[in-house]
Amino acid sequence: MELGNNTQFSEFFLLGFSADPELQPLIFGLFLSMYLIAVFGNLIIILVTISDSHLHTPMYFFLSNLSFVDICFTSTTIPKMLKNIQTQSKVITYEGCIIQVYFYIFFAGLDDFLLTVMAYDRFVAICHPLHYTVIMNLRLCGLLVLVPWMMSAMNSLLQSLMVLKLTFCREVEIPHFFCELNQMVQLACSDTFLNDMVMYLESVLLAGGPFAGIIYSYSKIVSSIRKISSTQGKFKAFSTCASHFSVVLLFYCTSLGVYLSSAATHSSHSSATASVMYTVVTPMLNPFIYSLRNKDIKRALKRVCGIVGIKRPTVLGQMKCP
């Protein structure tokens, strides 16, 4: 990419969290642990959902898609950061940075869309239980997953192409642990007005839209639950969406926390630290929320664990599933 000073720009420098060499092993161990927990936790959700026929329902179809997206989301940023710590290098190529921006925006947006789809699924299950299987048919479920993939792909492609139009006139240091779009735009020496406008519209439409959909779905759910006469019926209805509601709160509260911390402190280091919450911590906690608060997942885990125990007695010995 030709720059204003007629030099060839080829790389960025990711500053990460700290330049202190003594802290690097601690940071490496912490993020490696969180990454492995996130990957294996979500992978277990996917495998359990596939292997147990009782979970072949729209709700768990969307959940397995969410788990797959969470694995990809964390894998977009954390492996590169771990490699940089291990090799003691802060460099990421220009092409690598653009690719990271594309997939980060893609999977972050897809996460948001899938949470909205899951809210709609719970809305239909609670507000229209007699027509649930008719409404949530195979064709609609496929469309509810396919459309978010297409919209996220187009949005991330647009944002990445907008970054390609920017020029950078010096050695650029990104005060983050990955190539964050807003940080890259701020480092550009060319006019960024169009980029800022696109990012603003994207935030309003593709973040505010799904959030409004979730709010609408849960307002209808609460209204329907209030009409149930028995306390046991109310509890049973609420329990079907408790896990999803917890994940929604975690996702949006951490995202809001990142935005507020950036706006209040204007510190890139604070922003990078806050970003850990929704890039690593949220995908790591999602499997625990669904497995601990969901009886169907618990039963499926016990069934799968029981099958493994029968097939491999010599390995497992006297171990039993909890």
Please, what are the averages of pLDDT over each run of 10 residues along the chain (322 residues)?
46 83 89 95 93 90 95 95 90 92 95 95 92 94 96 94 85 84 86 90 86 94 89 84 88 77 60 79 89 78 67 43 40
Is position 155 within any domain? Answer: yes
- Residue pair 155/105 in contact (Cβ under 8 Å)? The answer is yes
In-domain check, residue 259:
yes
Q: Exposed/middle/buried for 55, CB within 10 Å: 0-12, 13-18, 19+? A: buried
Asked if residue 305 is part of any domain, the answer here is no
Res 266: pLDDT: 56
Secondary structure (DSSP) of 233-284: HHHHHHHHHHHHHHHHHHHHHHHHHHHHHHHHH--HHHHHHHHHIIIIIHHH
Which range of residues forms the domain containing residue 47? 11-299
Contact between 258 and 280 under an 8 Å Cβ cutoff? The reply is no
CB 305 within 8 A of CB 53: no
* pLDDT at res. 269: 64
How many structural domains compose the chain?
1
Give the residue carrying structure tokens 């964390």.
74
Residue 315 in any domain: the answer is: no
* Residue 188 near residue 167, CB atoms below 8 Å: yes
Q: Report whether 104 contacts 179 (CB < 8 A).
A: yes
Burial (CB < 10 A; 0-12, 13-18, 19+), residue 248, is: buried
Q: Which of 258, 289, 73, 113 is nearest to 176 (CA)?
A: 258
The residue type found at 47 is: L
Instruction: Give the pLDDT of residue 171.
Output: 63
Q: Tokens standing for 66? A: 């969410």
Residue 184 lies in a domain: yes
The pLDDT score that the predictor gives to residue 261 is 63
Give pLDDT, residue 314.
42
Closest CA to 135 of 116, 122, 148: 122
Farthest-apart Cα atoms in the chain, separation = 74
For residue 228 the two structure tokens come to 């149930």
User: What CATH number has the domain bearing residue 255?
Assistant: 1.20.1070.10
pLDDT at res. 240: 83
What pLDDT does residue 313 have?
A: 46
322 domain residue, yes or no: no
Specify the pLDDT at position 267.
58
- Residue 230 carries which DSSP code? S
CA-to-CA distance for 298 and 215, rounded, in angstroms?
A: 28
Does 308 fall in a domain?
no
Inside any domain, residue 3: no
